[in-house]
């Protein structure tokens, strides 16, 4: 029952605000070598402490479900960065003025924005192998962000973001 509630909440959050994700990775990497992970100790994520903990918990849960183990001597480390940006409202009201006489006309039209600007959050998750090549995989997500959301909704939002970020990890490489 608890999982059903979480799934429904996750679907509700995911359907309300789309999450856009871009992936990039080093083509020469053998992803089958990576079985253990940990987080950088000096992450400067740009998130609040509570949101950072929620994102790390979501990453832990997903990576564990994928068969990865969190250890001190990990094969790769995870770094997190984020920033917020505002997107102008796309809702406008058009006001026009026009006139004409004998086939000659003119007009003026303006769009007046309605509502407030949307706040979006960009989160970048990077997988780094310090012993070999450094950064080898990166996912960047962009989605709507409501600063006053309840903790449960924030947790579900971060779970949805992580799910979308890691849905194609590890990537299929043509060797």
Instruction: Tell me the CATH number at 58.
Output: 3.30.160.670
Q: For residue 39, how many other CB atoms are within 10 A of its CB?
A: 17
So what's the pLDDT on residue 117? 61
Q: Is 162 exposed, middle or buried (0-12, 13-18, 19+ CB in 10 A)?
A: buried
So what's the pLDDT on residue 94? 62
Residue 134 near residue 128 (C-beta atoms within 8 A):
yes
- Number of separate domains in the chain: 1
Domain encompassing residue 68 = 19-92+110-165
- Residues 132-162 have pLDDT tens digits of 789 999 999 998 888 788 999 999 999 999 9
Average pLDDT of adjacent 10-residue blocks, the chain of 175 residues: 52 61 91 93 89 94 96 94 74 62 66 65 92 90 86 93 92 67
So what's the pLDDT on residue 14? 44
Residue 25 near residue 169 (C-beta atoms within 8 A):
no
Q: What is the mean pLDDT of the chain?
A: 81
β-pairing, 134-144 vs 92-101, is unpaired
So what's the pLDDT on residue 111? 63
Is 14 within the bounds of a domain?
no
So what's the pLDDT on residue 119? 76
So what's the pLDDT on residue 13? 44
Residue 174 near residue 155 (C-beta atoms within 8 A):
no
Residues pairing with 123 in the sheet: 82, 141
Is 144 within the bounds of a domain?
yes
Residue 128 near residue 28 (C-beta atoms within 8 A):
no
Is 42 within the bounds of a domain?
yes
Is 74 within the bounds of a domain?
yes
């Amino acid at each position: 029952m608890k999982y059903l509630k979480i799934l429904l909440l996750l679907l509700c959050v995911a359907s309300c605000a789309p999450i856009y994700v871009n992936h990039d990775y080093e083509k020469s990497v053998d992803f089958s070598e990576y079985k253990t992970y940990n987080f950088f100790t000096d992450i400067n994520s740009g998130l609040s402490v509570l949101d950072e903990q929620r994102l790390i918990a979501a990453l832990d849960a997903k990576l564990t479900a994928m068969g990865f183990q969190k250890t001190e001597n990990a094969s790769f480390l995870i770094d997190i960065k984020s920033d917020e940006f505002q997107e102008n409202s796309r809702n406008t009201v058009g006001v026009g003025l026009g006139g004409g006489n004998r086939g000659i006309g003119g007009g003026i039209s303006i769009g007046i924005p309605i509502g407030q600007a949307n706040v979006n959050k960009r989160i970048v998750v990077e997988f780094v192998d310090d012993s070999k090549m450094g950064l080898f995989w990166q996912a960047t997500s962009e989605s709507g962000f409501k600063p006053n959301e309840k903790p449960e909704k924030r947790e579900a939002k971060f779970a949805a973001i992580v799910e979308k970020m890691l849905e194609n990890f590890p990537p299929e490489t043509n060797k």
